[in-house]
Amino acid sequence: MSKLLQPLKKNTALLALIFMTFWATKAHAVLTNIVEPITSVHGLHTGMRAENVTEITGLNAAAGG
């Protein structure tokens, strides 16, 4: 019986990992959508995504510093 349950346990762990990863990504996207407008009103930049880093460094270079 335990031989039958072994693949099921592995698949359950894999599905749980996939679900948790998806949920974390979804939660991050929702939080970013909430936080982003608030911080942009104050002129702050949040997150370290590639486009934000390029935008910040581009602005710094344009400002001469």
Q: pLDDT tens for residues 32-63?
A: 777 777 666 655 454 545 555 555 555 555 55
DSSP H or E stretch at residue 46: none
Count of domains for the chain:
1
Closest of 64, 35, 9 to residue 52, by C-alpha: 35
Q: Which pLDDT belongs to residue 1?
A: 56
What 3-state class would DSSP assign to 48?
Answer: coil
Q: Around Cβ 45, how many Cβ atoms within 10 Å? A: 13
* pLDDT, position 53: 56
CB contact at 8 A, 16 and 8: no
Where in the sequence is the domain holding 34, given as residue range(s)? Answer: 2-62
Q: Is the pLDDT confidence value at 30 over 70?
A: yes
Quick: pLDDT tens for 10-28.
Answer: 788 888 888 888 887 887 7
CA distance 64 to 10: 55
